[in-house]
Amino acid sequence: MNFALTEEQQMIVDTVRSFVETEIYPHEDAVERTGVVPRELGQEIARKCKELGFFACNFPEEVGGAGLDHLTFTLVERELGRGSMGLTVFFGRPSGILMACNEEQRERYLLPAVRGEKFDALAMTEPDAGSDVRGMKCFARQDGDDWIVNGTKHFISHADIADFVIVFIATGEEQTPRGPKKKITCFLVDRGTPGFEIRDGYNSVSHRGYKNCILTFDDCRLPSSQILGELHKGFDLANDWLYATRLTVAATSVGRARRAFDYALSYAAERKQFGKPIGANQGVSFKLADMITEIDAADLLTLSAAWRLDQGLPSNREIASAKVYATEMLARVTDEAIQIYGGMGLMDDLPLARFWRDARVERIWDGTSEIQRHIISRDLLRPLGA
């Protein structure tokens, strides 16, 4: 077993970390105060990302991406996790699900997204359908070769900057031994389509500047040519996409935890009480020991899951394990970092309070901790007939 990064991987890690430190960190305080990323700043970040050759680095070379494997891309996401999501979203990583585009859609959506000419957002969650995806009420009724869509989506990340949205919509129902089940289809919907509106969402305590939006469909007419993938096969498409996003959440959680840990470690070595550094006391030093052990464990779980994807091995349980452990680890590490700082840890002079608040949502989006545990336990028990 060789855990060393290749020379190329180490260069990528160093490059992305430097980018985050020089292009993202200086703007974080302003975004935290205002909750807004100026359009010009977002465009500047995207431009510099393109100059580095990292825009759409999660896409194959044949469509214009950098062609990074899952492991190397996970390393990129880990380093981006150190920075504010409101800013790093412009370090373009279009939704991998766009690889399902047909030839005509590739020209209109996939290739412009890879070139950074268009931004996408992905919409699945509804007010009454979160973990229960098949409980969605946003419905499309067929009318000739078109579909008439009505309903609402919410918690849709960065739809405010999106030129088009990848939307999962119920398009029918089928009977199963467990009762009726929604058929789900994925559609590509352009901003400005009649009957489709993108509205501001809720004010969140986590990831300020990284907006969530509400999407409404009011007799929105979509031609069948806007279907991504196959009719009624959207759930299968979503499952493939969720692998990558859950791995991203795990990786960014590791990166953010390491940044919080670095603050705590430096402070423990410098801050003196009773005539010695507070890190000399076991009450603090043991916290540091536990924090770094958990961070390293989450890192290895995450990279191992990415490696399994690259090898074509079953990875559903491993990705779920990485997601649940890394996100819960992040909560513990940020909390302990604040405890080491004491009262200063909660002041705006430091980013620790932001890390602490941002950590809370990681256990919810892209599949709650409870859903991850369901995936893990189901994978263990099903082969035994339970």
Tokens standing for residue 281: 């006391």
- Closest of 80, 66, 11 to residue 250, by C-alpha: 80
Tens digits of residue pLDDT in 264-301: 999 999 999 999 999 999 999 999 999 999 999 999 99
Q: What is the pLDDT of residue 242?
A: 74
Tens digits of residue pLDDT in 175-201: 888 888 899 999 999 999 999 999 999
Q: In which band, very low, low, confident or very high, does the pLDDT at 1 lie, cut at 50, 70 and 90?
A: confident
Q: In which band, very low, low, confident or very high, does the pLDDT at 58 lie, cut at 50, 70 and 90?
A: very high
Backbone angles phi, psi at 172, to 5 degrees: 165, -170
Q: What is the pLDDT of residue 380?
A: 97
Q: What average pLDDT score do residues 39-44 get?
A: 96
Residue 379 reports pLDDT greater than 90? yes
* Percent of the chain predicted with pLDDT > 90: 92
Q: What average pLDDT score do residues 138-156 get?
A: 97
Q: In which band, very low, low, confident or very high, does the pLDDT at 109 lie, cut at 50, 70 and 90?
A: very high
Tokens standing for residue 121: 């957002």
Q: In which band, very low, low, confident or very high, does the pLDDT at 325 lie, cut at 50, 70 and 90?
A: very high
Domains and CATH numbers, the chain: 5-95+106-113 (1.10.540.10), 118-233 (2.40.110.10), 242-382 (1.20.140.10)
Q: What average pLDDT score do residues 339-349 get?
A: 95
Q: Count CA within 13 A, CB hemisphere, residue 362.
A: 33
Compute the mean pLDDT over every residue in the chain, rounded to the nearest whole number. 95
- Whole-model pTM? 0.95
Backbone angles phi, psi at 169, to 5 degrees: -135, 140
107 DSSP assignment: I
